[in-house]
Amino acid sequence: MSTRSDLPRATSAPTESTGSDSVEELSLPTFNNRMSLRQHVAEALRASLVSGHMRPGVLYSAPKLAAQFGVSATPVREAMLDLVSEGLVEVVRNKGFRVTGVSGHELDSLAELRAMIEVPTMALVAGKCEGSLAKAVSALRPKARAIVKAADKKDLVGYIEADTEFHLAFLSLHGNERLVEVVHDLRSRSRLYGLETLANAGKLGILAAEHEQMVDAALQKDVEGMRQLVSQHLGHVRSIWAGDAG
């Protein structure tokens, strides 16, 4: 599992078309020679998918995406096949790849599962936050602030990347890597269709600020405060998934 803290951030771009077999260009970061290029590309595509830039019904070509990334088509095609294996996109023979749809019921299920896992886990971290663990929690503050910066710039893909990195890093402090993998998968299947509306309304910063509040709650060993904060945060995210951000 890879998070992309060392990569340039992409900014949003207008959609060309949204027909059933239309081709759409995305605003994507350019990669130089880096290790695990396939993983980096996959994480960038996941962020574009979750942020709502990659939408169901739109056709995406590996060579065209590769040109935007500034890499060969091979790692992009491999990354897309990774997403196919995860059920996030499907192959359109001789044309490219298409994002699979997610129903409102599925989004509700994802929200419920995330709450069941993340609320108690982050509360457990808060309850034992001292010594080396407290130092590890403090080290997450720059990541929390990076989320705020992305929100201020309306960099939606960058926001998703920083947000994912923060949450997975925080959850990893509990010491259960399988749990982190499950949450990563749940996040990859989500769709924040209302994220752009929230950003344009100047309200994304409110959601972003909750991440540093989580750091503060943990350092204060405020278990109940952490439960309430994470539950509130995931409730906000569920509204964004549904496109109810306005």
> What would the 3-class secondary structure string for 116-153 be?
HHHHHHHHHHHHCCCCHHHHHHHCCHHHHHHHHHHHHC
Per-residue pLDDT in tens (0 to 9) along the chain, 246 residues: 444 444 334 433 334 444 445 555 666 665 544 448 888 899 889 888 888 888 888 889 999 999 998 999 999 999 999 999 988 899 998 889 998 888 888 888 988 999 999 999 999 999 999 999 999 999 999 999 999 999 999 998 899 999 999 999 999 999 999 999 999 999 988 888 778 888 888 888 999 999 999 999 999 999 999 999 999 998 887 777 655 544
CATH 3.30.413.10 given to domain 104-241 = no
For the chain, domain boundaries: 22-99, 104-241
Query: According to CATH, what is the number of the domain 22-99?
Result: 1.10.10.10
**pTM for this structure?**
0.76
Measured distance CA(154)–CA(196) in Å, rounded: 8
What is residue 23's three-state secondary structure?
Answer: strand
Q: What is the pLDDT of residue 26?
A: 66
User: Is there a shared CATH topology between the 22-99 domain and the 104-241 domain?
Assistant: no
Measured CA distances, 108 to 21, 25, 99, 159 (Å): 28, 30, 19, 22
Compute CA distances 129 → 70, 170, 206, whole Å: 43, 12, 25
The helix/strand/coil state of 92 is strand
Neighbour count for residue 205 (Cβ, 10 Å): 15
